[in-house]
């Protein structure tokens, strides 16, 4: 059963910190991306680290290898423990992200397929399978695969073996946590938690999945 990862896509720093603090006892990691970092700065990682949880930078890094290295190095220097990059940029770019992550004793996850409807337009026709396979060759710690399409997660699992799958799209996007739980290593939940009237209670509602994993 999977870890619970909060996608903290809140622009207001004060609210983001409050939600993280309230939900922390019910989480295994926090993922933040551009919405929060662009408004609060990369230093927000230092404040979130006080919750004692791993922090994943969801920057979907997708550039030439040198630029990827510069981005990833700054991310890990700021206190993150994981980064998400794209795989369509090629093996050399993936390897640059992985090398930076591992040099900082962190993890790198590669997007193999996205969870929104438009993700089917170009993440199709064998491309996700190729990305997943290349991610493993590049030494990545795992992939990102959509909770909204469990059948696709099953297929991609066959390409990565026991490497990790982190799966977004739970709740608001339509993904079912219980349906995907046995297929992945981490479920990523955002709006269904932080937009809830009681975010802590919303996070706690996934406790049965975490208990099963920790047992």
Q: Which of 13, 15, 49, 60 is an active site residue?
A: 60
Report the length, in residues, of the chain. Answer: 215
E strand spans, the chain:
3-7, 29-33, 55-61, 82-86, 107-111, 142-144, 164-168, 186-189
Distances (CA, A) of 99 to 165, 170, 183: 19, 30, 27
163 is catalytic: no
Query: CA-to-CA distance for 100 and 97, rounded, in angstroms?
Result: 5
User: Which residues belong to the active site?
Assistant: 60
């Amino acid at each position: 059963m999977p870890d619970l990862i909060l996608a903290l896509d809140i622009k207001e720093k004060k609210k983001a910190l409050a939600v993280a603090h309230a939900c922390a006892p019910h989480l295994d990691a926090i993922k933040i991306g551009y919405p929060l970092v662009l408004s609060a700065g990369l230093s927000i990682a230092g404040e979130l680290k006080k919750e004692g949880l791993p922090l994943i930078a969801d920057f979907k890094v997708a550039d030439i290898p040198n630029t990827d290295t510069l981005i990833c190095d700054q991310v890990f220097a700021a206190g993150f423990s994981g980064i998400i990059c794209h795989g369509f940029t090629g093996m050399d770019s993936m390897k640059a992200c992985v090398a930076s992550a591992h040099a900082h004793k962190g993890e790198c996850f590669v997007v193999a397929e996205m969870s929104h409807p438009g993700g089917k337009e170009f993440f199709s026709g064998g491309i996700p399978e190729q990305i997943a396979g290349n991610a493993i060759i590049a030494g990545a710690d795992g992939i990102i695969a959509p909770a909204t399409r469990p059948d696709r997660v099953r297929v991609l699992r066959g390409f990565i073996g026991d490497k990790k799958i982190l799966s977004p799209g739970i709740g608001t996007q339509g993904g079912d946590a219980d349906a995907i739980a046995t297929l992945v290593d981490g479920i990523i939940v955002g709006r269904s938690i932080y937009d809830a009237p009681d975010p802590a209670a919303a996070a706690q509602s996934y406790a049965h999945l975490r208990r099963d994993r920790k047992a």
